[in-house]
Structure 1
Amino acid sequence: MTTNANQPAGKYAAVNGINLYYEVHGTGKPLVMLHGGFGTFATMFAALSSALTANHQVIGVDMYGHGRTALTDRPMSFESMADDIAGLIEYLGLEKADVLGFSLGGAVALQTAIRHPERVNKLVLISAPFKRAGWHPEMQVGMKSNSAEFLRNTPLYDAYVSVAPKPEDFTRLVSQMNGALGQDYDWSASVAALKSPILIIAGDSDGMPPAHAVEFFNLLGGGLKDAGWDGANMIPSQLAILPGGTHYNINFRTDLLLPALTPFLAENKQA
């Protein structure tokens, strides 16, 4: 998959009061992919999405306020962004789709399943805790105090201004993100009630400790007893802790991600 900033491969869907940018690549079972904070589908998932298009119809999204999807006067929240994704799945005429999200995209993917279970088949959550306290303390501080001045010296800013409908909105995006990411949340009860199979992926040196990923898996009923000779005590959800995975490299490590992703997405188990 190649995407040129001057020749966008995607379209816009009028959903939930915004124009949401999306791209469709490949054929097969639909898989919505949601990038991390301040990123875009193209910059954060180029390698992974290319590998997945062999067996999937990859639907890559630039989430609200990110990339080619403009900010509006609507406040930013996990919940409203999840409504955007459910709206897109309906807009595309799909009954359900698998949804994969990294970091911010993982939180949005999880909320999509919580708020719109009828639209979600399987979930893949990469580096995404189910409560804000799941992040390491320094991550919690950083997420509510991002500086536009600092970010302007990073590739994230360069990628944003190269495609954003209004590049001057970057400072406002940072302020909106600080507000959204600074809000406390704990979705334990909602997670425990989910029916969708979930693949939880975390790095062993991630922005959240591996213990939180295990706690997440436990909430789903996993890891609580021996599987048994016949696997009778296994659950539809799975857990993968990737060696050498950090919050800053894990979405690019296709060598680590694909061995976990491919069999999970291929299984017939569904919501």
Structure 2
Amino acid sequence: MMSHADVNGLSLYFEEHGSGEPLVLLHGGLGAGEAYGPTLPALAEHRRVIAVDLQAHGRTADVDRPLRPETMADDVAALIAHLGLASADVMGYSLGAKVALRTAIQHPEAVRRLVLVSIPCKRDGWFPEVRATMDQMGPHLAEPMKQSPVYELYARLAPRVEDWPTLIGKTSESLKRDFDWSAEVAALTAPTMLVFADADSVRPAHIMEFFALLGGGLRDAGWDGSGRPAARLAILPGTTHYDISTSPALPAAVVPFLDAPLPQRA
């Protein structure tokens, strides 16, 4: 099912696939929900996947506001309410993971479980060369980027193809913003899973720092598993930041976490 939801002055496009426990799926920068490729139907085999096109991406037209994970998180929470759901599992990749994380921070009641794929919780978590590339991005790249696969997707789906330079400009501005959400991560209440590539754009030291903020990697779990943290961490072999979202290893890693019993609240 394909539809739009009017939320926060935005006509937010989403598609629904499958049935069962709801899972909101958020794509990466310059992408769209369908860019998950084979991952989407694999996730939808036993759950109701709600694949969203974020502001200015895919079939969701841009509006007069910057691209911010914080405002897009408000859109996601509003969509969950629009669908009449008390809460939903939320999974995001790259930009979508930033939005998913902010949704859990800003609207904890709306997020049942959280899956974050290939994203740091502070800008310093990216490798230096990745940050340097982000700093070099700007509106001047809009024309040459028309030769890329991301433009092919955009041109096929966007309600206003002429907004492409605006999207590149807003994306480049957003990528340059510093952020450090460590304190908010440490206070998360939703069970959280982190997923990274073994050749990711995120520094391995930061991956462990991120996991530790969630209570992971701090002690031995014990022979009976009683010391196991609520959070989970997966490193997917043979993947990078750029192909992890379509790897068959991604749903294989994530589905057991989504299917596990929720931990009892104290």
Quote the offset at 1:93 in angstroms.
Answer: 0.3
Question: Does structure 1 residue 19 correspond to structure 2 residue 11?
Answer: yes
Question: Does structure 1 residue 77 correspond to structure 2 residue 71?
Answer: no
In the alignment, the residues of structure 2 paired with residue 84 and residue 63 of structure 1 have an alpha-carbon distance, to the nearest angstrom, of 8
Aligned residues: CA RMSD: 1.1
Q: Secondary structure at the match of 2:45?
A: coil
Question: Does structure 1 residue 149 correspond to structure 2 residue 143?
Answer: yes
Who is 1:218 aligned against? 212
Percentage identity across paired residues of the two chains = 49
Quote the offset at 1:269 in angstroms.
Answer: 1.4
Paired amino acid for 2:251: L
Q: Secondary structure at the match of 1:233?
A: coil
Which runs of no fewer than 5 residues in structure 1 stay unpaired? 1-8
Paired amino acid for 1:24: E
In the alignment, the residues of structure 2 paired with residue 88 and residue 46 of structure 1 have an alpha-carbon distance, to the nearest angstrom, of 22
Question: Does structure 1 residue 166 correspond to structure 2 residue 160?
Answer: yes
Contact 1:144 1:177 in 2 (8 A): no
In the alignment, the residues of structure 1 paired with residue 209 and residue 233 of structure 2 have an alpha-carbon distance, to the nearest angstrom, of 10
Select the residue among 14, 35, 41 that pairs with 2:33.
41
Q: Secondary structure at the match of 1:226?
A: coil
Contact 2:23 2:91 in 1 (8 A): yes
Question: Does structure 1 residue 258 correspond to structure 2 residue 251?
Answer: yes
Who is 1:242 aligned against? 236
1:198-256 Cα distance to aligned partner (Å, 9 max, x none):
110001111112222111110111110000111111111100111111011111111x2
Quote the offset at 1:72 in angstroms.
Answer: 1.1
Quote the offset at 1:140 in angstroms.
Answer: 1.2
Who is 1:6 aligned against? none
Q: Secondary structure at the match of 1:152?
A: helix
Quote the offset at 1:192 in angstroms.
Answer: 0.1
Select the residue among 53, 67, 71 that pairs with 1:62.
53
Q: Secondary structure at the match of 1:54?
A: coil
Who is 1:32 aligned against? 24
Between 1:140-149 and 1:160-169, the stretch displaced more is: 140-149
Who is 1:119 aligned against? 110
1:84-104 Cα distance to aligned partner (Å, 9 max, x none):
000000000000000010000
Who is 2:86 aligned against? 95
Question: Does structure 1 residue 209 correspond to structure 2 residue 194?
Answer: no
Select the residue among 207, 225, 228 that pairs with 1:231.
225
In the alignment, the residues of structure 2 paired with residue 53 and residue 125 of structure 1 have an alpha-carbon distance, to the nearest angstrom, of 18
In the alignment, the residues of structure 2 paired with residue 59 and residue 105 of structure 1 have an alpha-carbon distance, to the nearest angstrom, of 13
Who is 1:134 aligned against? 125
In the alignment, the residues of structure 1 paired with residue 252 and residue 36 of structure 2 have an alpha-carbon distance, to the nearest angstrom, of 16
Contact 1:192 1:220 in 2 (8 A): yes
Quote the offset at 1:57 in angstroms.
Answer: 0.0
In the alignment, the residues of structure 1 paired with residue 251 and residue 184 of structure 2 have an alpha-carbon distance, to the nearest angstrom, of 28
Aligned residues between the structures: 261
Quote the offset at 1:175 in angstroms.
Answer: 0.4
Contact 1:27 1:57 in 2 (8 A): yes
Which runs of no fewer than 5 residues in structure 2 stay unpaired? none
Contact 1:202 1:210 in 2 (8 A): no
